[in-house]
Structure 1
Amino acid sequence: MNNDDYDSGLTEGLDLRVLSAFVDGELPHAQRAAIETQLEQHPQAAARVAAWRAQKKALQALCGAPAREEPAFIVVRPSAPWWRRVGLAACWLAAGAGLALALGPLAPRLTGGAWGGLGGWSGFGAAPASFAQRADVAYAVYTPERRHPVEVAASEEEHLINWLSKRLNRPLSVPSLQEYGYSLVGGRLLPGEAGPAAQFMYENQNGARLTLYVTGISRDETAFRLFRDGNRRTFYWVSDRMGYALSGPISEGKLRSIAIDVCSALGGKPEAWQ
């Protein structure tokens, strides 16, 4: 289905402007309840609303904005002379360099080993791959969703795999995590760094979730790396020009074990990491 068909399905009985106001929380309670009832009868519109909410959360996550925005005020101040701005920038640069040197020996303990020095990360001496960062953001955005965590549910697994394989132009498979107590919830299509990406979501009996992010990569390597952001961890690797990232809040050791099994199930060579 193309975008025109998709949008025409949305407008059937529902006004896009009303849906936008609904997502932004600008409707009265009675009208909001009516829209929720209508969305249950219009799955395409409900999917678009879920996508808008996800985009909003992604922007908030990337920009550090609070969930509920306060009224914004613009304060206009006279611009400082250029020589003052240059001097201030130099002072901050010198202070930052001094602080980095002073805290360098303490950084691994303060960050749990995630800091590898200036320009380093995750103990591997290199910044995390951009697809790993995208995977982490996608995890933060979609796993809290209760009603619309995925676009296609696990009950349509065959359709899900065929659809995402076609969009990524690569045969995909969904590894089973039942051994670790996680069942497939479903998946969705996401924008990647240089093309489409896929996210598969898993959940255990306690409601904890893991995600597997898959996207095409222009390079190939065998490195296996860890990226941390808060309590979230992402093990990521590249195999046969495909980037994979397994994200979740569980212990590093357990997530690594799952990642090794996932890599093996997908035709990778985790023995190269040992």
Structure 2
Amino acid sequence: MTGDRPISEDDLHAFLDGMLDPARRDAVERYLDTHPQAAARIATYRTQGDALRAALAPIADQPTPPEFALRPLVERRRRRFARHRQIAAAIGILCLGGMTGWFGHQALTLPSHGVHALAQEAVDNYEVYAADLRRPVELPSDQTAALAYWVSERLGAPVEPPDLRAAGYRFLGGRLVTTPNGPAAMFIYEGPAADRLAVMARPMTIDKNRAMSERAFGALQGVTWSRDGLGFSVVAPRASGRLAPVAAEVQRQTASA
């Protein structure tokens, strides 16, 4: 049963760290054999880790210098703390105003909830599910009505898979996926060259109405937008051709719905 579960990003990092049980490790190795992009990324991480360990090895083998002994360090820290206690109180008052400005800046610039986050979430889930040749969907296309009811109930908004047959994509089915911003619906399609396309939708807490924006993610490309508090992202391999017309059709159907 362990091998039947889709490979996640956590599985890939646990594989890199040698933390998987044998059955899950074998499943990840099979996944990497059929997903060259993920395999190349893991190989890069491993090379970087080996280089870092090699660079630090001479230092790690040296004895600890006397000046870094724990007792003198604690004593120096205690004296320094006592000497600057009164200064710290004054600095704290000054920092209070600075922190207010900083957190205000963070609130304005934090991109973890808007359309940029949605675009990355769609790509991450595409790499896990749409690239899975055995089980990319939870409910297949012959259960479209049940799928639409399921995801609409969980998202709190009416969502159903667009019909993309005119664009050359056959609907395979869909599933609920997880994101840092709550559940999302993912619908997966297959083109004439067996290339996969995914449409992901989730409620938006910010960027509730944003125009379409297109962005490349390595070998993938995505088009993302939001309307009336619901965000959409369409993802496909860059080699599949121009994605904007397909995204425009998704936008047209979801807006009319």
Alignment pair present for 1:64 and 2:46 = no
| Residue number in structure 1 paired with 2:23 | 22
CA distance in 1, matches of 2:115, 2:255: 23
Structure 2 unaligned runs (5+)?
6-19, 66-113
CA distance in 1, matches of 2:212, 2:248: 9
| Secondary structure, aligned partner of 1:211 | strand
Cα 1:132/1:202, change in 2 over 3 Å: same
Q: 2:155 aligns with which of 168, 171, 175?
A: 168
Q: 1:151 aligns with which of 128, 138, 142?
A: 138
Largest Rg, 1 or 2: 2
Q: What letter is aligned with 1:246? A: V
Pairs aligned (count): 178
Q: 2:219 aligns with which of 227, 231, 243?
A: 231
| Cα deviation, residue 206, structure 1 | 2.1
Cα 1:230/1:164, change in 2 over 3 Å: same
CA distance in 1, matches of 2:203, 2:40: 26
Q: 1:222 aligns with which of 210, 213, 221?
A: 210
Q: What letter is aligned with 1:66? A: A
| Residue number in structure 1 paired with 2:171 | 184
Q: 2:194 aligns with which of 198, 201, 207?
A: 207
TM-score, scaled to structure 2: 0.58
| Residue number in structure 2 paired with 1:264 | 252
Q: Contact 2:140/2:172 (CA < 8 Å) preserved in 1?
A: yes
TM-score, scaled to structure 1: 0.55
The superposition leaves residues 43-79 of structure 1 with CA deviations (integer Å, 9 ceiling, x where unpaired) of: xxxxxx89xx98xx99x95993139979x87554427
Q: What letter is aligned with 1:23? A: R
Cα 1:24/1:196, change in 2 over 3 Å: same
Alignment pair present for 1:131 and 2:132 = no
Structure ranking higher in helix proportion: 2
Q: What letter is aligned with 1:198? A: A
Cα 1:128/1:64, change in 2 over 3 Å: farther
Q: Relative contact order, CA 8 A, sep 6+: which one is greater? A: 2
| Residue number in structure 2 paired with 1:245 | 233
Q: What letter is aligned with 1:132? A: A
| Residue number in structure 2 paired with 1:78 | 59
| Cα deviation, residue 21, structure 1 | 3.0
| Residue number in structure 1 paired with 2:242 | 254
| Cα deviation, residue 251, structure 1 | 6.3
Q: What letter is aligned with 1:78? A: I
**Could you say what the CA RMSD is over the residues aligned between the two structures, in angstroms?**
3.9
| Cα deviation, residue 195, structure 1 | 1.0
Q: What letter is aligned with 2:144? A: E
Q: What letter is aligned with 1:264? A: R
CA distance in 2, matches of 1:225, 1:62: 29
Q: Contact 1:202/1:209 (CA < 8 Å) preserved in 2?
A: yes
* 1:108-119 pair list within 5 angstroms: none
Q: Contact 2:216/2:222 (CA < 8 Å) preserved in 1?
A: yes
Q: Contact 1:233/1:252 (CA < 8 Å) preserved in 2?
A: no
CA distance in 2, matches of 1:183, 1:267: 21
